[in-house]
Amino acid sequence: MSASDQNGVEAIIWREDRLELLDQRILPEQENYLIYETAEDVAQAIRDMVVRGAPAIGITAAYGVVLAARHCFARDSFMWKESIGKYIKILADSRPTAVNLFWALEQMEKRIALQADDLNPEKKLLEEAVRIHESDIAANKTMGEFGADIIAASQDSGRSVMTHCNTGALATGGLGTALGVIRTAFDKGIIDHVFADETRPWFQGARLTAWELMRENIPVSLNVEGAAAHIMKTQDISWVIVGADRITANGDVANKIGTYNLAVLALHHGVRFMVVAPVSTIDMSLETGEDIPIEERGADEVVAVKGQQIAPDGVEVFNPVFDVTPADLIDVIVTEKGVVERPDRDKMELLMSNDHLH
């Protein structure tokens, strides 16, 4: 992996037999890596949002399985396969919505099944985790090209795009999903400005997306979410470009809360809507977005900002952190296997059954 794969930002590093995670809770003020040596601590890091973003969660969990295998084999070199399941479950229970987590754990389980019962599995499992990590980097690059080509082909209106949450190097192994398309389109001179939603309550847009774009001198305006309709009406926005945490068989998309709002607004304003995600985000086992488990997090995330209370004591809070955008509001889903315009079940099935559409 080279620094240019992530444009200098590396959220996840395997170094000296340990996992290092860039603590995203304290960005952009501090750039600090935390070190992990157990699967339980890795699961806690995912739960606590030290690392976040669907592909990044999957990659992190894969390295967590390597740490679990080391622990289980050291404890009992004949029974490690029996005991590792407990740690895979702990990792799986960390967050419910991003299917990349379960996909990565499944890849690791398949590799575990191939290992001898009494040989140290760490090296082989590490190879698998690195393969998952590197394939995400490659997928980001391919999606960046596909997405930029689509924007170029449709460039009849504005040269600005809007994005939501953080879908960049911090959320993936590489350049990012939606932010990878934005980076690529900017590098090719196809777009020249990005509007980034602040993304309450975790402020992934304000803290992370604005930080990533500014590091690369990509012009970005940060906006509160309530400004989205006004921006679409008054600025030269051609596309809303977002990532995904889970895409179902009919093309419905779960992503950060507020994404659905943007899709409705985009339709009203004649702005196109693009979802960018690797195929590891597609869950063909679920028929529609209604089947996706939507994570709800604590009231503390809404009633306080950086420890400062902003709401009355005891106020009731509802804090779903993802929503589902119906397929019929989506112009195109971009994956590394190909692009799906106006997604529906038949087109999603075709995408998943082919090795490559392009």
- Overall residue count recorded for the chain in this entry: 358
Is residue 325 a contact residue for ligand MRU (CB under 6 A)?
A: no
Q: Is 177 in the site for ligand MRU (CB under 6 A)?
A: yes
Q: Per rule CB under 6 A, is residue 6 in the interface with ligand MRU? A: no
- Give phi and psi for 347, each to the nearest 5: -70, -35
Q: Does 243 bind ligand MRU (CB under 6 A)?
A: yes
- Between 65 and 247, name the residue whose CB sits nearer to ligand MRU: 247
Q: Are 124 and 73 in contact (CB under 8 A)?
A: no
**Shortest distance, position 177 Cβ to ligand MRU, whole Å:** 4
Q: Which is nearer to ligand MRU, 54 or 231 (CB)?
A: 54
State the Cα–Cα distance between residues 344 and 341, nearest whole angstrom. Answer: 9
CA distances from 21 to 37, 79, 244 (A): 11, 30, 22
Pairing status of strand 193-197 against strand 237-242 = unpaired
**Rounded to 5 degrees, what angle do the CA atoms 51, 55, 61 make?**
60
Using CB under 6 A, pick the residue from 6, 94, 160, 167 that binds ligand MRU: 167
Q: Dihedral of the CA atoms 245, 249, 250, 251 (nearest 10)?
A: 30
- Whether omega for the bond prior to residue 201 falls within 30 degrees of 0, making it cis, is yes
Total of chain residues touching ligand MRU, rule CB under 6 A: 17
Minimum distance of ligand MRU from residue 183's CB (angstroms): 13
Restricting to residues 186-205, name those near ligand MRU by CB under 6 A.
Answer: 204
Our finding on whether 52 is near ligand MRU (CB under 6 A) is yes
Task: Identify which of residues 26 and 119 has a Cβ nearer to ligand MRU in the complex.
Answer: 26
245 catalytic residue (yes or no):
yes
250 labelled ligand-binding: no
Q: Is 111 annotated as a binding residue?
A: no
- Rule CB under 6 A: say whether 223 interacts with ligand MRU: no
Catalytic residue among 136, 245, 252, 331: 245
> CA of 254: how far to CAs of 18, 97, 276, 288, 295, in Å?
32, 8, 12, 10, 11
Q: Counting contacts by CB under 6 A, is residue 182 touching ligand MRU? A: no
Angle of helix 99-114 relative to helix 54-75, nearest 10 degrees, comes to 30
End-to-end C-alpha distance for the chain, whole angstroms:
25
256 is in an annotated binding site: yes
* 255 scored as a contact of ligand MRU (CB under 6 A): yes
Q: Shortest distance, CB of residue 278 to ligand MRU, whole angstroms?
A: 8
Q: What is the DSSP letter of 318?
A: -
Residue 135 binds ligand MRU, judged by CB under 6 A: no
Q: Cα separation of 64 and 278, whole Å?
A: 21
Q: Single out the residue of 53, 64, 121, 144 in contact with ligand MRU (rule: CB under 6 A).
A: 53
74 vs 224 by CB, closer to ligand MRU: 224
Say whether 53 counts as a known binding-site residue.
Answer: yes
What does the angle CA 291 – CA 84 – CA 100 come to, to the nearest 5 degrees? 35
Helix (H, G, I), strand (E, B) or coil at 163: strand
Nearest to 323 by CA among 258, 230, 233: 258
Nearer to ligand MRU, 160 or 177 (CB): 177
Contacting residue, 54, 84, 90, 340, with ligand MRU by CB under 6 A: 54
| Alpha helices (runs of H) in 154-227, residue ranges in sequence order | 178-187, 210-215
Q: Which of residues 72-101 bind ligand MRU (CB under 6 A)?
A: 98
Binding-site residues: 52-54, 95, 204, 255-256
Binding residue positions for substrate:
52-54, 95, 204, 255-256
Residues designated catalytic: 245
Which residues in this chain contact ligand MRU in the complex, by CB under 6 A? 52-55, 98, 165, 167, 171-172, 177, 204, 243-245, 255-256, 321
